[in-house]
């Protein structure tokens, strides 16, 4: 039997299948080519969400339900090939969250790891395990698994960010736990900026012991990351598949910033066309600057700032930057690498 084929279904075999079905059994040879595939295979499809339209819907939702009643006022970005699953890829979730002026998204904690990538507004805050951080456009903010967190907006403008979570991964392992806090906001017992001062200045407390899965820094300011990209740009060392692509790290050990989600930031110079690339980690992209297009599995998607698009696992992609462009992205690469599953193909680069 070929890996892609199935044995003939004779009357005798069908009768046997029906008989063992009553005992909750199925013959492997009848499903082998469906469950062990020569290449990655899923319903995940390339797709792009226009931010302007999504923002319009988000603001409309603000008149229908409060952040407190909703727990989190979020519109899920659901992959067209997997409607009803609350997934943007087979392993990841994405949603756009709105917190209006003078609102609080109540404190809670859960098994899932979460990231926030700020798209609109400035000055609203997220509190994580007793420390508060003010958020600006392009900031990458982490909520580690099991960490108390709440969000508040004491500015006079709506605040919108992209949520990325490993909900499907945690659900696959049937390991989801969630708990609400006794109050809308947790007590703040650490100074704003404390974690960045302790861990983000190329130093560590002398007796620090790594006992957490995620980075002890929970806000990576865009301004600082963008400054780093700008400095490296002068070296003119462009990877043919990625331009200039960096990964956010845990400063304690240099590993990934999150245990199951791999976040990246990359710069494509004006006119740059990447070589074709594919990898097993389906990836969510968010341009922060510039305009361009990405060809994914033969489909062309034109993008601009704050649009969101997804590249499925093992589908060829190449990017073209009309202007100098910066792209934030996240995938499950860190989880795949830990499990020995990650694979990439750099085409003819």
Mean pLDDT on 28-32: 94
User: Distance between CA 201 and CA 306 in Å, rounded?
Assistant: 29
Give the range among 51-65, 78-92, 184-198, 208-222 with minimum mean pLDDT: 208-222
Position 210 scores a pLDDT of: 77
Query: Predicted confidence band at 348 (pLDDT cuts at 50, 70, 90)?
Result: confident
pLDDT of 2 higher than 90: no
pLDDT of 229 higher than 70: yes
- CA angle at 237 for the pair 233 and 242, rounded to the nearest 5°: 90
pLDDT of 208 higher than 90: no
Position 211 scores a pLDDT of: 73
Percent of the chain with pLDDT over 90: 95
Question: What b/e sequence results for 221-245 when a residue is b if at least 16 CB atoms lie within 10 Å of its CB, and e otherwise?
Answer: bbeebbeebeeeeeeeebebbbbbb
pLDDT of 213 higher than 90: no
Question: What b/e sequence results for 169-178 when a residue is b if at least 16 CB atoms lie within 10 Å of its CB, and e otherwise?
Answer: bbbeeeeeee
Position 1 scores a pLDDT of: 58
Closest CA to 166 of 228, 235, 213: 213
Position 347 scores a pLDDT of: 83
pLDDT digits (tens, 9 = 90+) for 57-83: 999 999 999 999 999 999 999 999 999
Position 124 scores a pLDDT of: 94
Strand partners, 48: 309
Average pLDDT of the chain, as a whole number: 96
Residue 279 φ then ψ, to 5°: -155, 165
Mean pLDDT on 231-247: 97
Strand partners, 319: 294
Query: Predicted confidence band at 189 (pLDDT cuts at 50, 70, 90)?
Result: very high
DSSP 93: E
Mean pLDDT on 26-50: 95
Burial status of residue 343 (CB atoms within 10 A of its CB: 0-12, 13-18, 19 or more): middle
Render 110-163 in DSSP notation, one character per residue: ESS-EEEEEEE-SS-EEEETTEEEE--TT-EEEE-TT--EEEEE-SSS-EEEEE
Query: pTM for this structure?
Result: 0.96
Position 4 scores a pLDDT of: 79
DSSP 308: E
Those residues with Cβ within 8 angstroms of residue 207's Cβ, 6 or more apart along the chain or in another chain: none
Query: Predicted confidence band at 349 (pLDDT cuts at 50, 70, 90)?
Result: low
Those residues with Cβ within 8 angstroms of residue 120's Cβ, 6 or more apart along the chain or in another chain: 55, 137, 158, 159, 160, 161, 306
Those residues with Cβ within 8 angstroms of residue 289's Cβ, 6 or more apart along the chain or in another chain: 305, 323, 324, 325, 326
DSSP 165: E
Per-residue CA distances from 11 to 14, 15, 16, 33 (Å): 5, 6, 9, 21
- Give the H/E segment covering residue 94: strand 93-99
Fold (CATH) for 47-345: Jelly Rolls (2.60.120)
pLDDT of 255 higher than 70: yes
CB 122 within 8 A of CB 155: yes
């Amino acid at each position: 039997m070929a890996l892609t084929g199935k044995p003939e279904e004779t009357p005798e075999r069908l009768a046997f299948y029906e008989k063992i079905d009553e005992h909750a059994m199925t013959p492997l040879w009848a499903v082998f080519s469906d469950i062990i595939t020569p290449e990655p295979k899923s319903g995940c499809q390339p797709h792009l969400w226009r931010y302007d339209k999504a923002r319009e819907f988000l603001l409309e939702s603000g008149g229908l339900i409060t952040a407190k009643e909703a727990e989190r006022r979020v519109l899920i970005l659901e992959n067209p090939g997997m409607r009803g699953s609350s997934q943007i890829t087979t392993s990841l979730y994405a949603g756009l969250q709105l917190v209006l002026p003078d609102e609080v998204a109540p404190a809670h904690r859960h098994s899932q790891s979460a990231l926030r990538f700020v798209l609109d507004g400035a000055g609203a805050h997220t509190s994580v395990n007793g420390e508060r951080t003010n958020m600006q456009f392009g900031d990458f903010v982490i909520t580690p698994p099991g960490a108390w967190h709440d969000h508040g907006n004491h500015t006079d403008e709506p605040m919108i960010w992209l949520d990325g979570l490993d909900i499907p991964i945690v659900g696959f392992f049937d390991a989801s736990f969630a708990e609400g806090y006794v109050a809308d906001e947790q007590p703040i017992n650490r100074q704003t900026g404390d974690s960045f001062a302790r861990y983000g200045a190329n130093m560590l407390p002398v007796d620090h012991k790594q006992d957490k899965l995620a980075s002890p820094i929970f806000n990576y300011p865009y301004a600082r990351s963008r400054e780093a990209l700008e400095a490296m740009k002068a070296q003119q060392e462009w990877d043919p598949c990625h331009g200039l692509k960096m990964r956010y790290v845990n400063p304690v050990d240099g590993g990934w910033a999150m245990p199951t989600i791999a976040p990246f930031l990359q710069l494509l110079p004006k006119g740059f066309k990447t070589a074709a690339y594919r990898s097993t980690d389906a990836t969510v992209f968010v341009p922060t600057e510039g305009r361009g297009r990405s060809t994914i599995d033969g489909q062309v998607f034109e993008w601009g700032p704050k649009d969101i698009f997804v590249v499925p696992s093992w589908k060829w992609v190449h990017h073209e930057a009309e202007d100098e462009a910066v792209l934030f992205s996240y995938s499950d690469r860190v989880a795949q690498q830990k499990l020995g599953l990650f694979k990439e193909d750099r085409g003819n680069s």
